Amino acid sequence: MQSFSFLPVIPCSVEFLYCDLASLQSIRQFVQKFKKKKIPLHVLVNNAGVMMVPQRKTRDGFEEHFGLNYLGHFLLTNLLLDTMKESGSPGCSARVLTVSSATHYIGELNMDDLQGSHCYSPHGAYAQSKLALVLFTYHMQRLLAAQGSPVTANVVDPGVVNTDLYKHVFWGTRLIKKLFGWWFFKTPDEGAWTSVYAAVTPDLEGIGGRYLYNEKETKSLKITYDLDLQRELWARSCQMTGITDMTQDTFSG
């Protein structure tokens, strides 16, 4: 299972806290530990994940791409939002940055089988998880804006980056990557540029609901702007992770 160390930046100190995004319990435990430190959280980058792995499940029984790449970030972000709202202020918003992928452009969201139990495809499962991240970010931004919250949410597309994520792809693709990766793949540092830009640029102060590629705004897949689909996925995700869906209260108030 994929895990990651969360790195809060504390003045005069750097500290790692363990969090396994494939475990809802681990996420909740991490959030409890982080909040006990009573430090602000100005930027959250959702960047952990797996790609095109064989069919397997997380500790909570979710298909791994959907459970780790998407639901893990969904729960983590929602549990940290109150801290981010306290950390942000008018003119200095806290920022949620969620790393998706151009693969979302070929993704399909099967609301009747989000776990891919009937017909599993590693590529399809990965693309669906990246599509779900875009829908989640756009709906979250709508909620934050409606609440007048000093937090923004944007999507980042790092491009094709030379990392170990490709270890499960077709052997021919791995060979091409090994031979020509230096030519048409970004380095990890280059792949991080758009995330860093989105985290610090004054141009995005108070602005959310954007899809960013190469430090510029671009259009995501047309279906990601479907408000009903955004709301449906959000409601289902709340049920899966055991949190309250505030959509109706937010928009009816």
The answer as to whether 166 is a domain residue is yes
213 among known catalytic residues: no
> Is the entire prediction scored with pTM above 0.85?
yes
Q: How far is CA 97 from CA 20, 209, 234, in A?
A: 19, 10, 17
How far apart are the C-alpha atoms of 177 and 183, rounded to whole Å?
Answer: 9
Domain that holds residue 56: 38-243
Domain count, the chain: 1
Residue 239 sits at φ, ψ, to 5 deg, of -60, -45
Please, what sign has the CA dihedral across residues 74, 27, 196, 41?
Answer: positive
Domain assignment present for residue 230? The answer is yes
Q: What is the pLDDT along the chain (253 residues), one digit of tens a residue?
A: 445 545 555 555 677 889 999 999 999 999 999 999 999 999 999 998 888 788 999 999 999 999 999 999 999 999 999 999 999 999 999 999 999 999 999 999 999 999 988 889 988 999 999 999 999 999 999 999 999 999 999 999 886 655 555 555 544 554 454 545 544 665 767 767 889 999 999 999 999 999 999 999 999 999 999 999 999 999 999 999 999 999 999 987 5
Domain assignment of residue 215, yes or no: yes
Question: Has residue 13 been placed in a domain?
Answer: no
Closest-CA residue to 191 (of 218, 164, 170, 168):
164
User: Is 24 contained in some domain?
Assistant: no
Q: How many CB atoms lie within 10 A of CB 251?
A: 11
Judge whether 3 lies within some domain.
no
Q: What is the number of other CB atoms lying within 10 angstroms of the CB of residue 203? A: 10
- Name the active-site residue from 70, 126, 138, 211: 126
Instruction: Tell me if 225 is assigned to some domain.
Output: yes
CATH (domain of 194): 3.40.50.720
At position 38, the amino acid (one-letter code) is K
According to DSSP, the residues that pair with 97 across neighbouring strands are 45, 154
Residue 32 lies in a domain: no
Return the percent helix, strand and coil in the chain, to nearest 5. 50, 15, 35
